[in-house]
């Protein structure tokens, strides 16, 4: 696969995740909030369980439907194959920095 083919495929997949954020989020977002919610959706994939984006606590908090702590709900997405992942802990911290501070640095 060429780089241009890979980029085209990525854009096709990315739009699915962007559309999910647009569909499920009912409040106005900053660009960085939209970006990071799309990143979260992209990284966690599409599924039919309760942790899937459309039924997630993160989404409920974002929409003002829950008074739970956003940081805790966001950081709960820290498991890979059932085990807590140091890499995912770091990724979630970076995503929260984007969400709150519009800071895209690693």
The architecture in CATH of the region 3-101 reads Orthogonal Bundle (1.10)
What sign results for the dihedral spanned by CA atoms 53, 59, 63, 66?
A: positive
DSSP annotation of 102 reads -
Contact 48, 18 (CB under 8 A): no
pLDDT in tens, the chain (106 residues): 899 999 999 999 999 999 999 999 999 999 999 999 999 999 887 654 445 788 899 999 999 999 999 999 999 999 988 999 999 999 999 999 999 999 998 7
Q: Where are the domains of the chain?
A: 3-101
DSSP annotation of 49 reads S
Contact 61, 71 (CB under 8 A): no
Q: 18: Cβ–Cβ under 8 A, 6 or more apart, which residues? A: 34, 38
């Amino acid at each position: 696969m060429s780089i241009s083919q890979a980029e085209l495929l990525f854009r096709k997949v990315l739009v699915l995740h962007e559309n999910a954020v647009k569909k499920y989020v009912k409040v106005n977002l900053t660009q960085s909030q939209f970006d990071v919610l799309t990143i979260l959706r992209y990284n966690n994939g599409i599924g039919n369980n309760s942790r899937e984006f459309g039924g997630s606590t993160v989404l409920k908090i974002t929409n003002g439907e829950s008074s739970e702590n956003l940081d805790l709900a966001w950081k709960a997405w820290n498991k890979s194959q059932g085990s807590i992942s140091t890499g995912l802990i770091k990724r979630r911290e970076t995503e929260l920095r984007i969400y709150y501070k519009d800071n895209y640095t690693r």
